[in-house]
Amino acid sequence: MYSLKCIKCGKEYDKRSVIYNCDCGGLLEVKIDFSSIDIDKDDYENIPLSVWKYKEFLPVEREPISIKEGGTPLYDCKRFSKLIGLKEPFYVKHEGLNPTGSFKDRGMTVGVTKAIELGMKIVACASTGNTSASLSVYGAKAGIPVVVLLPGGKVALGKVAQALIHGAKVIEIKGNFDDALEIVMKLCNEEGIYLLNSVNPYRLEGQKTIGYEIADELNWTAPDRIILPVGNAGNISAIYKGFKELKSIGWIDRIPKMTGIQAEGSAPIVKAFKDHKEDIMPEKNPETIATAIRIGNPINAIKALQAIYESKGLAEMVTDEEIVEAQKELAKLEGIGIEPASASSIAGLKKLLKNGLIDKDERVVCITTGNLLKDPEEVVNVCNKPIVVETKLDKVKKVLNLIKQYNVTQILQIY
Ligand code: F0G
């Protein structure tokens, strides 16, 4: 049993209502009655990880539209941990290994299933890229038309490619993500289209399973801290809700400190946190190399700030240079390839540790939200170029000899 509930005034709405905000303007969340759920954590013991492993906790009543999302690895990152001086195991939950390469699939499997269950005929979203890629794929699987609005020229190549090949109607606007979201919300309300941005509380239910999986993988314990990138601020809110639910039913005994990271040029939530505010001042011209989180007016800001304050977490901003450095380090030390937005969580961890705001003894999990292959242009721009030689064995051997003596930067200077 479940309903939709306003986080501001507490008003409840029927579970079949197609609404995204309360009459009072507040954000909605799915309120689940746990007394009607008859399952124990031991029942989960031999079931492989996935979003639908926790179906009893998901507000869906039909066969899911699924392409096997979730069940992402939780890597124990010893080499990186040593580099930054953490004493406890440091984990990376690599959400970039979901079917479309980002955590959005967890939300979309639930959101698109809900769209079909409610009898909706078209689904839509605004996106910095990953949401549109994921919605396009789940729309294709469900056989429902998809419309996506993108900020022109600011979406990474891999993401646009996904939206195009899977058959979405892709509309580019000459504005940023915040402009696109404003338009798509009006479009959906006026045209009866189902909105699948993270303002949709059903979508966030899928994403709360990141919290469920982490607790499950750590044998039903919670880490000290979760660190993740924040854009439209749905994911941090969803994961917090997941941990809160597990604590309320006694499966874990505490909630991790939710720690959100934004890019310096696009950090309204961090600024609100540093000013001890409950809401943000929107930023008009957000800018960062991490285009996935290039968002000035996050729709879930109030939920995210609540998650951070209630869990005694933190919010921090990092520069583009720090993002790229962290992206390269994780790639080279752990073999984990992530897009820039995801690297902000790693850069944030480094910064907070260095500034003494995170303790060396904490057990930290960073969520890496998107795959490296999403943004190949950024990678090519920030890495050394390939070494070009004539098609001759001796020329290649010459390079090999140099590799034995120098690092790649030095070799590039020679050639
Ligand atoms: N990381 C990646 C790779 C993302 O694509 C996003 C959001 C985030 C982090 C932030 O998550 O919005 O829940 O705070 N991307 C959205 C999109 C906005 O349209 O793909 P959030």
Q: Evaluate if residue 59 carries a pLDDT over 60.
A: yes
Tens of pLDDT, residue by residue over 224-244, are 999 999 999 999 999 999 999
User: Token pair for residue 385?
Assistant: 């170029």
Q: Which of 98, 128, 159, 208 to mutate to test the pocket of ligand 1 (most atoms within 8 A of CB)?
A: 128
* Judgement on whether residues 238 and 363 belong to the same structural domain of the protein: yes
* Judgement on whether residues 356 and 279 belong to the same structural domain of the protein: yes
Percentage of residues in the chain with pLDDT exceeding 70? Answer: 98
- pLDDT class of 323 with cuts at 50, 70, 90: very high
Would you say residue 5 lies in a domain? Answer: no
State whether residue 1 is helix, strand or coil: coil
- pLDDT class of 33 with cuts at 50, 70, 90: very high
Cα 85 to middle of ligand 1, angstroms:
29
User: Token pair for residue 368?
Assistant: 């890496």
Closest-lying ligand 1 atom to the alpha carbon of residue 129: 20
Closest-lying ligand 1 atom to the alpha carbon of residue 131: 20
Residue 211 near residue 242, CB atoms below 8 Å = yes
- pLDDT class of 407 with cuts at 50, 70, 90: confident
Closest C-alpha to ligand 1, atom 3:
370
- pLDDT class of 411 with cuts at 50, 70, 90: low
Among residues 323, 287, 300, the alpha carbon closest in space to that of 151 is found at 287
Name all residues whose Cβ lies below 6 A of ligand 1.
102, 104, 127-131, 198, 229-235, 292-293, 339, 341-342, 369-370
Closest C-alpha to ligand 1, atom 15:
292
Q: What are phi and psi of 160, to 5 degrees?
A: -60, -40
Question: Tokens 């979203």 — which residue?
Answer: 125
Q: Which of 95, 236, 369, 378 to mutate to test the pocket of ligand 1 (most atoms within 8 A of CB)?
A: 369
* Judgement on whether residues 369 and 401 belong to the same structural domain of the protein: no
- pLDDT class of 402 with cuts at 50, 70, 90: confident
Cα 103 to middle of ligand 1, angstroms:
8
* Judgement on whether residues 227 and 277 belong to the same structural domain of the protein: yes
Tens of pLDDT, residue by residue over 344-399, are 999 999 999 999 999 999 999 999 999 999 999 999 999 989 989 999 999 999 98
Would you say residue 158 lies in a domain? Answer: no
Cα 167 to middle of ligand 1, angstroms:
21
Q: Which of 102, 197, 338, 375 to mutate to test the pocket of ligand 1 (most atoms within 8 A of CB)?
A: 102
- The DSSP result for 250-301, as a single string, is TSSS---EEEEEEETTB-HHHHHHHTT-SS----SS---S-GGG--SS-TTH
| CATH number of the domain where residue 254 is located | 3.40.50.1100
Residue 56 near residue 39, CB atoms below 8 Å = yes
Closest C-alpha to ligand 1, atom 8:
231
Among residues 348, 351, 361, the alpha carbon closest in space to that of 88 is found at 361
* Judgement on whether residues 400 and 320 belong to the same structural domain of the protein: no
- pLDDT on residue 408: 65
Closest C-alpha to ligand 1, atom 9:
229
The amino acid present at 271, given as its one-letter code, is: K
Q: Evaluate if residue 410 carries a pLDDT over 80.
A: no
- pLDDT class of 128 with cuts at 50, 70, 90: very high
* Judgement on whether residues 330 and 290 belong to the same structural domain of the protein: yes
Q: How far apart are CA 406 and CA 414, in angstroms?
A: 10
Closest-lying ligand 1 atom to the alpha carbon of residue 134: 20
> Domains in the chain: how many in total?
2
- pLDDT on residue 412: 63
Tens of pLDDT, residue by residue over 171-182, are 999 999 999 999
Using N-to-C axis directions, what is the helix angle for 234-248 and 301-310, rounded to 10°? Answer: 50
Cα 327 to middle of ligand 1, angstroms:
17
- pLDDT class of 36 with cuts at 50, 70, 90: confident
Residue 374 Cα to chain centre, angstroms: 13
Would you say residue 404 lies in a domain? Answer: yes
Residue 340 Cα to chain centre, angstroms: 12
Would you say residue 235 lies in a domain? Answer: yes
Average the pLDDT over 211-228 and give the result: 98
Q: How far apart are CA 121 and CA 134, in angstroms?
A: 18
Looking at the whole model, is its pTM more than 0.85? yes
CA angle 118, 122, 127 (to 5 degrees): 110
* Judgement on whether residues 270 and 369 belong to the same structural domain of the protein: yes
Percentage of residues in the chain with pLDDT exceeding 90? Answer: 94
* Judgement on whether residues 302 and 215 belong to the same structural domain of the protein: yes
* Judgement on whether residues 332 and 251 belong to the same structural domain of the protein: yes
Would you say residue 180 lies in a domain? Answer: no
Average the pLDDT over 291-306 and give the result: 98
Would you say residue 97 lies in a domain? Answer: yes
Cα 50 to middle of ligand 1, angstroms:
20
- pLDDT class of 405 with cuts at 50, 70, 90: confident
74: left (phi over 0), alpha (psi -120 to 50) or beta: beta
Q: Evaluate if residue 304 carries a pLDDT over 80.
A: yes
Q: Evaluate if residue 415 carries a pLDDT over 80.
A: no
What is the span of the domain harbouring residue 401? Answer: 387-414
Cα 54 to middle of ligand 1, angstroms:
23
- pLDDT on residue 404: 82
Cα 410 to middle of ligand 1, angstroms:
37
Instruction: Name residue 170's beta-bridge partners.
Output: 148
Closest-lying ligand 1 atom to the alpha carbon of residue 235: 13
User: Token pair for residue 62?
Assistant: 């039909």
Q: How far apart are CA 357 and CA 362, in angstroms?
A: 11
Q: How far apart are CA 171 and CA 193, in angstroms?
A: 15
Tens of pLDDT, residue by residue over 152-209, are 999 999 999 999 999 999 999 999 999 999 999 999 999 999 999 999 999 999 999 9
- pLDDT on residue 414: 59
CA angle 87, 92, 97 (to 5 degrees): 165
* Judgement on whether residues 213 and 243 belong to the same structural domain of the protein: yes
- The DSSP result for 376-405, as a single string, is HHHHHHHSPPPPP--S-HHHHHHHHHHHHH
* Judgement on whether residues 365 and 393 belong to the same structural domain of the protein: no
Cα 402 to middle of ligand 1, angstroms:
41
- pLDDT on residue 397: 94
* Judgement on whether residues 287 and 394 belong to the same structural domain of the protein: no
- pLDDT on residue 406: 77
Residue 120 Cα to chain centre, angstroms: 26
- Residues in contact with 81: Cβ distance below 8 Å, sequence separation at least 6, in sequence order: 89, 90
- pLDDT class of 118 with cuts at 50, 70, 90: very high
Q: How far apart are CA 260 and CA 257, in angstroms?
A: 10
Would you say residue 113 lies in a domain? Answer: no
Average pLDDT of the residues of the chain? 96
- pLDDT class of 403 with cuts at 50, 70, 90: confident
From 144-158, 284-298, 347-361, 396-410, the region with the lowest mean pLDDT: 396-410
Sign of CA dihedral 71, 206, 221, 336: positive
